[in-house]
Amino acid sequence: MSDDVGASLRSLRKQRGISQRELAKLCGVTHSSLSLIEQGKVSPSVSSLKKILNAFSMSVGDFFTMDLDSQEQIFYSADDLVDIASGDISFKLVGANRPNRALAFMVERYLPGADTGQAMITHYGEEAGFVVEGEIEIIVGSTARRLGPGESYYFKTSVPHRFRNIGDAPCKIISCATPGKAF
């Protein structure tokens, strides 16, 4: 067990980019004690483990349930992004292969004239976005606004909404939404 605790602490420390000496100073445990724990030569007391984990703002329970060797994909190339839209609209979803993701992070592209449709969209959650290039008209409830580069939005998606590119150039948006079920 002490080998597992030590190896996990070492992995966590390295993952966070902290040296042994820095961690020792942060948590009030001697550098030599920390080194022995990480090597699996000494088992830390519960009190010492709590001190060390406080430096990471982590509970003992979280420490013993964390998965440092997660098999989930972490990094995505442009080719890995899955387009979940079609036609004049492109929604390139980051992490489409994560079935239990807590957010939908997308690169959206609307060609001139593209429209999410006459029927307004509603679903549970929230959505935020930043216009990178071009212009987009966003209608949320009874409020409409045309946004350009550098402008952004944030709204509850339970309010009916619609996106339209009424400009002459493609529009690119970086967005994030809480994925949810439609009403």
Structure-token pair, residue 47 = 């009190």
H/E run at residue 155: strand 152-156
What share of residues in the chain are helix, strand, coil (percent, to 5)?
Answer: 25, 30, 45
- Residue identified by tokens 């590119």 is 165
Query: Within 13 A of 27's CA, how many CA atoms are on the CB side?
Result: 26
- Residue identified by tokens 């990480």 is 38
CB 167 within 8 A of CB 135: yes
pLDDT for 183: 37
The whole-model pTM stands at 0.63
* Distance (Å, whole) CA 132 – CA 152: 9
Q: Which one is predicted more confidently, 171 or 24?
A: 171
Nearest of 65, 66, 72, 113 to residue 89 by alpha carbon:
113
- Residues forming beta bridges with residue 167, ordered by sequence position: none
Confidence of residue 70 (pLDDT cuts 50, 70, 90): low
Average confidence (pLDDT) over 91-103 = 85
pLDDT digits (tens, 9 = 90+) for 136-168: 999 999 999 999 999 999 999 999 999 999 999
